[in-house]
Each structure stands twice: as structure tokens, then as C-alpha cells.
Amino acid sequence: MRVRFICIHGHFYQPPRENPWLEAVETQDTAHPYHDWNERVTAECYAPNASSRILDARDRITKIVNNYASISFNFGPTLLSWLEQREPDTYAAIIDADRMSRERFGGHGSAIAQVYNHMILPLANERDKRTQVRWGIRDFEKRFGRKPAGMWLPETAVDVASLEALAAEGIAFTILEPRQAARWRGIDTKDWIEGNGSIDPTVPYRCTLPSGRSISIFFYDGAIPRRQSADVRSGDRGEDGVELQPRPGAMGTRLRMQHGRRRGLESAVACATAPGARLAARRMHRDLREPRAARAARSVGRSRRIRRCGPRSLGPQRRKVSCGTGHR
């Protein structure tokens, strides 16, 4: 029997969402029923992948595994900083997954680094390219305790200068999209094959750079993620249009659309296993019963350090509040 392998890479990133004045993430209504999108994506993705349930034919849990130990992955430094402070258990599981993968794959860890601020490197000058790569490497070394072999380029955007910046810092490989290969040839041949997205993604490629350095490139299978994205966007279509159903083991809402307008919102909780899922469920049901104005007032009340300035309604009267002077 022929043994087959598949390599899955997970690119995980969230931008810094902290209010620079408060140094905290404020309430984001679009992430409802969670406080903000970091919390929501952690509950629905990052945490479940750290403790994935393996079920038998009768849907009984037979094993709990850390998916990160079996895939290739990268986490953005800004996301890891947030996880370290707000979700330490998930953060520890991610770091531990790299250790387990090194034991499993002969010293090769599953984690790779990422350009520090998710900057589009071809748009950066030479100094910024060098800074982004070095900061990404130092952050990786601080967290995972080793030097990264690979580095993820944001949006897989690349040019020759960006590859030179990676190679100059000792990065051995990166991952690109198949249509980014202009042409290629075998190591022992001289005839080039012009690229049209048909490059074989099952083998690595070596790119020789003008400086004399070289870097290896893995091309992901572009057709697979495009099909998966199309399936997610299309959903299960019926007479009412698009219907999004909650996934097993996660909490979500079912939203039915008819002629592009909201017809009804129905909450659903199905075997919620993520940490904080029950609390979020109670918040969701409570918020559905509250008027919108009451929800907005309660959200403002959470940030006690925010002062409201300007005209303020006092029944039939109005008065002006001058901020920062202490006079009213």
C-alpha cells in the first residue's frame, strides 16, 4: 500500500486592535456575542485547534489532540502578544506544539516566523524590509527558543529584494502562490518552462539571487484553498437564499437572508466546547432581548476611563462641558 502525505499550512494573524490611549481592545459590535474579534476568533479557531476532539463512529471522544503539532503554521507577533496576555492556555499550547513537532519530525519544528508587522514587503524600502525581517526573527526566537528556518511573507507578496532580505538573515525557505512563478527548470536541465500557474506544488524549488545567495521556495496548491473559499462563500443555498449553520462543537448564529434583507435571527448553541462558550451564549441571548439603545449604553459604561465631551442632554435643558480645563 502506497503511503501518502499532505502538508497543511495555517497562517494565523490579527492586527493590533488596542486603543493606543487605553492600551486595551474596546468592544467591537461586529464580533457579537464576543467582546472583540480577537476573542471570537480565539474561541472559534485558535483554542479548538489546540484541543481538537477525535470522535468514534458513535460521536464519542476517543482522543484530544493538538492540531498545531501536525501542521506547518505561523502566528503573527501581534497576535501572539495578545494571546500571551489574554489567553495564556492557548498560547502555551501553541508554543508546546512546536516542541512536540520537533520531537516528531527529527528536530524540525512546525512553526515558522512571520514578517513582524504584516507589512507588504515589496512596498517597503530596504531599511524597513531588513527591520521587519529581523524583528520577526527575534520575536520568534524569544517565544519558541530557536531560530526559524522559514518565514511567511504577508499576502505572499514578494520581489527579489524581499527574498534577498530573507536570505541575508539566514531564512532557508518561504511559501508563495503558484502563479508567482514566472518560469522554472530542473536543476540538471537548461530549458526553462514558462509559468502559467501550473508549477508542481509537491516539490521545493531553489531560487538563486543576484547576491549569490539562494533561498528555497514552496508553492502551495492554489486550487485547493480557492475551492474551499468558494464553498464557504456559497454555503447551503435554498429557496430563501444563503443559510449559515453553526458548526458542531462551536457556537454561532443562524442567519437567513431573503432578497438580501434580514428576515430573522435565531441563536443556536451546538455542543459548545470552547472556553467561555456558555458565558458568551448567555450574553447573546441577553443582548437579543435588549433594545439596541440599552446595549449601546451598557457598552459605553464598560470603558470607565472614557469621558464624554460636548453638548449633553439633560432633559429640557442643555449645557456645555469643556474637557481638560476643569471649568464648566
pLDDT beyond 60 at 93: yes
pLDDT in tens, 96-123: 999 999 999 889 999 999 999 999 999 9
Using the predicted structure, report yes or no on whether residue 290 has a pLDDT greater than 80.
no
Q: Is residue 173 located within the same domain as residue 221?
A: yes
In a domain, 319, yes or no: no
**Do 116 and 229 belong to one domain?**
yes
Range 243-257 burial, b when 16+ CB lie within 10 A, else e: eeebeebbbbbeeee
Burial class (CB in 10 A: 0-12, 13-18, 19+), 320: exposed
Do 138 and 37 lie in one domain? The reply is: no
Please indicate, yes or no, whether residues 46 and 83 belong to a single structural domain of this protein: yes
Note the pLDDT tens digit of each residue in 166-182: 999 999 999 999 989 98
Q: Which domain holds residue 147?
A: 112-181+194-234
Cis peptide before 33 (omega within 30 of 0): yes
In this structure, the answer to whether residues 83 and 136 fall within a common structural domain is: no
**What is the rounded CA–CA span in Å between residue 94 and residue 109?**
12
Structural domain count of the chain: 3
pLDDT bucket at 247, cuts 50 / 70 / 90: very low
Q: Do residues 14 and 30 both lie within one domain?
A: yes
What letter represents residue 119's amino acid? M
Residue 225 lies in a domain: yes
Give whole-number Cα distances, 81 to 2, 15, 144, 255, in Å: 43, 11, 13, 33
Amino acid at 7: C
Tell which residue, 73, 180, 77, has the closest CA to residue 119.
77
Average pLDDT score over residue span 32-37? 94
Residues 58 and 27 in one domain: yes
Least confident of 131-140, 197-206, 233-242, 283-292: 233-242
Would the CA dihedral through 172, 168, 134, 218 be positive or negative? negative
Q: What is the CATH number of the domain that holds 213?
A: 3.20.20.370
Please say which residue of 270, 287, 304 terminates a domain: 287
CA angle, residues 79, 83, 86, in degrees to nearest 5? 135
Distance CA 181, CA 179 (A): 5
State the DSSP code for 324.
Answer: T
116 shares a domain with 72: no
Q: Reply yes or no on whether the pLDDT at 258 is more than 70.
A: no
Nearest to 269 by CA among 246, 295, 292, 290: 246
Query: Which comes out higher in pLDDT, residue 77 or 308?
Result: 77
User: Residue 321: inside a domain, yes or no?
Assistant: no
Asked whether residue 210 falls in the same domain as residue 159, the answer is yes
Q: 131 and 56 in one domain?
A: no
Mean residue pLDDT of the chain comes to 77
Query: Is 304 a member of any domain?
Result: no
Q: Which residues contact 197 (CB under 8 A, 6 or more apart)?
A: 178, 179, 222
My answer on whether 79 and 148 are in the same domain is no
Does residue 228 fall inside a structural domain? yes
306 assigned to some structural domain: no
Residue 298 belongs to some domain of the structure = no
Domain assignment present for 317: no
Of 64, 89, 110, the last residue of a domain is: 110
Domain closes at, from 93, 110, 127: 110
- Give the three-class secondary structure for 134: helix
Question: In terms of domains, do 228 and 165 share one?
Answer: yes
